Each structure stands twice: as C-alpha cells, then as structure tokens.
C-alpha cells in the first residue's frame, strides 16, 4: 500500500469519522485503487490509530458502496464497472444541461472570464499528466457554470453528487482520447455560453433521462409530469444520450419506399444498437425521423450536418469509416 494519504487530526470529529473521511477521500480521488485490499493492521499503522476506528470506518464505507467485503479475503476497494461509470455520467450530464441553460442567460462578464481561465488551466494541467489534479481543474471549470446558473437548489443537488462523481471523474480521465475531447468541449462550451446559445451549449452534453427528471422533481417540487412534458416537447431535450456523431435516417414515405428501412436496419446491425441508443464508446447515436425535406434524394440520412442521399445498404460501411 503506497498511496500518499494521511489522517487530519485537526478535524473536530470523533476519531472514527476522521478515519472514515480520510479513507473515503483516498478512494474518491483514486489514491486507493479499485480492487485494492484494505488491511486493518496496515491502515491503522499508516494512520497512527488503533484498529477499532478503522474497522468502524470500513463498515460505513461498505454502506456507501465504496468498499466490499470478500469472504476469507477481507475488505477491498469496490471496483468500477462500465455501467457504474455510465450511470454517474448520465446524472451529471443531465443536471449540467439545466445549469448550462440558466448560465447562458445569467452569466456575468467576470464569470465568463473565470470560465475561460479555468478551461485553459485544464488544458495546461492535461499536459502535466496528474489525473487527480486534472480532475480538480475539471471540477473547478464546471463549478463556475453551476454558480452562474444562480439556482441554489440545483447547486445543492450537484454539490451532493460532486464527491461521488469525483471517483468516476478520475477514472474516465485516464483515457487520453477523453482528455483531448474535454479540452475542445470546454472551449466550445465557453464560446456557446458567451454567445447565449443554449441549443449549442446543451448539444455538447445532450440529454435528460427519467432518473434525473425524478431528482429534479424531488428537489424543486415541480411535478414529474410537467418536467417530462417539457423534456419531450422541446427539441433541445432528449431522454437518452447522444453520440458525437448523431445519425438520423429518414423513414418518411418517399424514403421508406426506396429502402430507408433497410438502411436503418443495416445501421443497427453495424453499430450494435437500436434506434434511440448510443454506442458504448459515445461515438454514434441512431434515430429515425419522418422527413428532412430532401425527398428528391431519397433515401436520405444525416450524420450531424452532413447529408447523404440516394443511399444503398452497401454504402453504409464506407460512410461510417469517414468518422473513425
């Protein structure tokens, strides 16, 4: 166990709570790795305490899902599954869409300046390779957006989730491709908020699942059916995540009779998803529409702003390859 953490005896809390907070932060920040064994004796010696507060802290960490007890092996840091990561990101993205919409209208010039500085600080930190520090700069960037939303209840919800998200934030920042994508997303988001372009800003993140609608309803007191009505009425909201490349296949009459149904089926087979879903890597999402006003090019599909007409099933592989 080589992780660099220590107990803070300056906290005015019972020792068991001090140990709990210390271990919890070490797990959330990735200083204690997923799957790492947690030995009571070693932790007690490391923190300079007896085994009793360590044992009590382990029980609380198990209740939070941060630690699991393995028969005949003892405690270890809970692993992070792909579903865990996706679930947390779904909640974060959807709540941030609400904050972004408010920030586009309310952000001040001073806050915009700090947001730009925070985006550049993230880019600078990325080059240093310190994931914990990088996660902290990412948090700082998004905190400015939350504050600019001027919604205390929304900020409370996001702050309650922040520490839980921290662990997963460090995890997904391990991928270089993700780090590079976030640099460009931050810059695009600053520009969209500066211009007050809600649609563009929300497109960067993208959707509002029913689980998050329930959270918003509980925290704001707005009936769930009203939130759902808004989310399904306005085009800027969707109920499922969207990929970087949004594929839309026209299934209107003119396109359908010329084979767009076969195109749609080929895309589902090729991408391994059904309509309304996003590929696990977040690259492609697939939807159907009824008409895009290009009947003379039937069958038609779009990928973001690119339009492809007079399609054949055999064209799909080559088209998708352009976005690899």
d(C-alpha 232, C-alpha 324), whole Å: 31
% of the chain with per-residue pLDDT over 90:
27
Helix or strand holding residue 173 (H, E):
none
Give residue 32's pLDDT band: very low, low, confident or very high (50, 70, 90).
Answer: confident
Q: Please determine, for residue 146, whether its predicted confidence score (pLDDT) is greater than 80.
A: yes
Give residue 148's pLDDT band: very low, low, confident or very high (50, 70, 90).
Answer: very high
% of the chain with per-residue pLDDT over 70:
80
pLDDT at 50: 92
Mean pLDDT of 246-254: 90
Q: Please determine, for residue 3, whether its predicted confidence score (pLDDT) is greater than 70.
A: no
pLDDT at 317: 94
Residue 258 backbone phi and psi in degrees, to 5: -100, 10
Pick the more confident residue, 201 or 29: 29
Lookup: tokens for 22: 């210390």
Which of 182-186, 206-210, 318-322 is least confident?
206-210
Lookup: tokens for 284: 């492609």
Going edge to edge, which strands form the sheet with 301-303?
284-289, 245-250, 301-303, 306-308
pLDDT at 312: 94
Mean pLDDT of 259-267: 94
| Unique residue bearing structure tokens 């921290």 | 166
d(C-alpha 34, C-alpha 78), whole Å: 6
The most confident of the ranges 123-132, 155-164, 185-194, 267-276 is 267-276
Q: Please determine, for residue 167, whether its predicted confidence score (pLDDT) is greater than 80.
A: no
pTM of the entire predicted model:
0.55
Give residue 12's pLDDT band: very low, low, confident or very high (50, 70, 90).
Answer: low
d(C-alpha 185, C-alpha 205), whole Å: 9
Q: Which residues pair with 284 in a beta bridge?
A: 245
User: Which bin fits 75, alpha (ψ -120 to 50), beta or left (φ > 0)?
Assistant: beta
pLDDT at 66: 85
Residue 5 backbone phi and psi in degrees, to 5: -145, 160
Q: Are 218 and 173 spatial neighbours (Cβ–Cβ below 8 Å)?
A: no
For residues 148, 153, 156, 162, the Cα torsion angle rounded to the nearest 10 degrees is -60
Which of 34-48, 69-83, 289-303 is least confident?
69-83
pLDDT at 263: 95
Q: Please determine, for residue 219, whether its predicted confidence score (pLDDT) is greater than 60.
A: no
Pairing label, strands 306-308, 301-303: antiparallel
CA-derived radius of gyration, the chain:
23
Q: Please determine, for residue 302, whether its predicted confidence score (pLDDT) is greater than 80.
A: yes
Q: Are 255 and 299 spatial neighbours (Cβ–Cβ below 8 Å)?
A: yes
List domains and CATH numbers for the chain. 15-77 (1.10.10.10), 82-233 (1.20.120.530), 245-321 (3.40.30.10)
Residue among 183, 175, 179, 168 at smallest CA distance from 29: 168
Give residue 161's pLDDT band: very low, low, confident or very high (50, 70, 90).
Answer: confident
pLDDT at 225: 76
Mean pLDDT of 104-131: 89
d(C-alpha 240, C-alpha 126), whole Å: 29
The most confident of the ranges 157-166, 207-216, 263-272, 275-284 is 263-272
């Amino acid at each position: 166990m080589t992780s660099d953490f220590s107990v803070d005896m300056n906290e005015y809390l019972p020792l068991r709570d001090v140990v709990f907070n210390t271990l919890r932060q070490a797990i959330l920040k990735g200083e204690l790795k997923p799957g790492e064994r947690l030995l009571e004796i070693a932790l007690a010696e490391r923190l300079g305490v007896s085994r009793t507060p360590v044992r009590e802290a382990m029980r609380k960490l198990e209740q939070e899902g941060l630690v699991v007890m393995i028969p005949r092996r003892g405690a270890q840091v809970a692993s992070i599954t792909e579903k865990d990561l996706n679930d947390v990101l779904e909640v974060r993205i959807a709540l941030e869409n609400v904050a972004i919409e408010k920030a586009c209208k309310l952000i001040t010039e001073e806050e915009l300046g700090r947001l730009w500085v925070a985006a550049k600080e993230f880019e600078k930190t990325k080059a240093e390779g310190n994931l914990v520090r990088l996660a902290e700069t990412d948090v700082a960037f998004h905190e400015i957006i939350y504050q600019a939303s001027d919604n205390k209840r929304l900020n409370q919800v996001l702050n309650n989730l922040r520490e839980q998200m921290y662990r997963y934030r460090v995890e997904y920042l391990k991928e270089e491709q993700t780090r590079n994508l976030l640099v460009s997303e931050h810059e695009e988001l600053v520009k969209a908020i500066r211009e007050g372009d809600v649609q563009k800003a929300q497109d960067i993140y993208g959707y509002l699942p029913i689980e998050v609608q329930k959270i918003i309803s509980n925290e704001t007191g707005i009936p769930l059916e009203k939130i759902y009505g808004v989310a399904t009425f306005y085009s800027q909201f969707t109920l499922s995540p969207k990929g970087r490349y949004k594929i839309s296949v026209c299934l209107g009459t003119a396109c359908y009779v010329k084979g767009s149904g076969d195109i749609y089926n080929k895309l589902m087979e090729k991408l391994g998803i059904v309509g309304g879903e996003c590929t696990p890597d977040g690259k492609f999402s697939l939807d159907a529409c009824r008409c895009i006003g290009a009947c003379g090019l039937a069958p038609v599909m779009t990928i973001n702003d690119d339009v492809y007409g007079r399609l054949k099933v055999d064209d799909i592989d080559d088209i998708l390859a352009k976005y690899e």
